[in-house]
Amino acid sequence: MKGIRRTHGTAPAKKAAADVVVLRDALSELAKIPGPRALRDRALLLVGFAGALRRSELVALDLADIRFVAEGVVLTLRRRKTDQEGQGTEVALPYGQSERTCPVLTLRAWLEAAGITNGPVFVSVNRGGKIGSARLSPLDVARVVKAAVEAAGSNPADFSGHSLRSGFITSAARAGVAERHIQNQSGHRSLPVLRGYIRRGSLFVDNAAAKVGL
């Protein structure tokens, strides 16, 4: 097995991170589309990104898990991968810098448009705009991400549902956000795993090869 690993390598295939630039482009395209389906997708993208949520955490959200406060919205995640006892974890989403990219305003707009008063937050919407009651699955998150980035000109094969979470970590690292603050949002228990994301997102930040005069 060691010989096979030496011959073929062990580096896993990484999907691209939907960083803030990719996300803004995708949101701009979705904003051109009328109807509840595009609004739902915008809310899903923004909440998933700003909360650094896993796909399963995003689709598991119920209305009872959402609390709007003066500073934004607080999400209660009933069970995270790092919360095996199910004690629940709170994740705060502040207001965005613009209405189009604000997770709080977009989430509120979706809830009001869909008339959701209980149960799952992210539900099915057919192509005709009829809002259903079925909770989206983690696979649906991947479909939404791929469709949105493709509309914005990116290759959908490069992205996955996990791209929202990795995109937040990448964008935060590039913006110089402290490691502990990124960890607070993402819920990573393992610092080596988190640092792997941070390193990939910071490869061109203070890069030594850019400073040698080439």
Q: What is the DSSP string of the chain?
A: -HHHHHHH--PPPPPPP--HHHHHHHHHHHHTS-SHHHHHHHHHHHHHHHTT--HHHHHT-BGGGEEEETTEEEEEES--TT-TT---EEEEEE--SSSTT-HHHHHHHHHHHHT--SSBSSEEE-TT--EEEEEPPHHHHHHHHHHHHHHTTS-GGG--TTHHHHHHHHHHHHTT--HHHHHHHH--S-HHHHHHHHHHHTTTTT-GGGGS--
The pLDDT value recorded for residue 11 is 47
CA distance 112 to 96: 19
Of 82 and 143, the one with more pLDDT: 143
Above 60 in pLDDT, residue 9? no
* Other CB atoms within 10 Å distance of the CB of residue 41: 24
Catalytic residue among 165, 189, 195, 211: 165
Q: Catalytic annotation on 54?
A: yes
Q: Catalytic annotation on 8?
A: no
CA nearest neighbour of 60 among 76, 84, 46, 39: 76
Of 144 and 2, the one with more pLDDT: 144
Look up residue 51 and give its two tokens. Answer: 């909360």
- Report pTM: 0.81
The pLDDT value recorded for residue 200 is 63
Catalytic residue among 81, 130, 181, 199: 81
Which residue ranges form the domains of the chain, and what is each CATH number?
A: 23-154 (1.10.443.10)
Above 50 in pLDDT, residue 10? no
| Cross-strand partners of 77 | 89
Catalytic residue among 42, 55, 146, 188: 188
- Around 76, how many Cα atoms within 13 Å sit in the side-chain half-sphere? 11
The pLDDT value recorded for residue 177 is 75
Amino acid identity at 58: L
The pLDDT value recorded for residue 183 is 76
Q: Catalytic annotation on 81?
A: yes
Per residue in 80-128, pLDDT (tens digit) is 655 555 567 889 999 999 999 999 999 999 999 999 999 999 999 998 8
- pLDDT more than 90, % of the chain: 56
Q: Catalytic annotation on 181?
A: no
Q: Catalytic annotation on 162?
A: yes
- Around 134, how many Cα atoms within 13 Å sit in the side-chain half-sphere? 8
Catalytic residue among 37, 54, 55, 146: 54
CA distance 173 to 190: 16
**Cβ–Cβ < 8 Å for 147, 156:** yes
Mean pLDDT across the chain? 84
Per residue in 144-179, pLDDT (tens digit) is 999 999 999 999 999 998 889 888 888 888 877 777
The pLDDT value recorded for residue 45 is 97
CA distance 149 to 144: 9
